[in-house]
Structure formats: C-alpha cells, structure tokens
Amino acid sequence: MMAEGAKEFSPVTSSGFGKPVVMLVALRQSYIPMTCRIVCESVADVRVRIKPGWEMDVRNDLILAVEEVVIAAENRVN
C-alpha cells in the first residue's frame, strides 16, 4: 500500500498512526464511527485494522475526523 507519495502524511490521520482510534467515516448519507488502528497511509487511502486479521482501505476523502481512544489504566488488558 505504500505507494508513490506515501511520505506525504495527512495531519488528521498520521497523529493516530498505530494507536487505537475512532474514525468518523461518511458512507452515502450516514456517518459511521469506526474503532480501529491506522496501519498504513498513502496519499489517497488509509489502511486500518479493525481486529487482528481484518484490515481494509478507507479513502481519505471519506474520513471526517479521527480521535484517539484513551483507556483508563485499570481497564487495560496487559
């Protein structure tokens, strides 16, 4: 997925690279919150991992917002 121009990161998504995030994605006329991790990024797409073994590409123009998920220390596993 690291295509030409992949070094030009989007400031909206690159801050959440590798961290658990919630992305607000526009699909048709609906807004979908999606819990995931940003795995890879190119100029046109962001690859996200929904759960181990489940990855998908999301077009940058469909991403409306990205927010890091903060989990309290007592609720973390490991």
Could you tell me the domains of the chain? 11-71 (2.30.30.520)
| 62 close to 27: Cβ distance less than 8 angstroms | yes
Return the closest-CA partner of residue 4 out of 43, 57, 47: 43
Q: What is the pLDDT of residues 43-71, one digit of tens each?
A: 889 999 998 889 999 999 999 988 888 76
C-alpha 36 chain-centroid distance: 6
SS3 13: helix
The whole-chain average pLDDT of the chain stands at 78
Is the pLDDT at 3 greater than 80, yes or no? no
Q: What is the pLDDT of residues 33-48, one digit of tens each?
A: 998 998 888 888 999 9
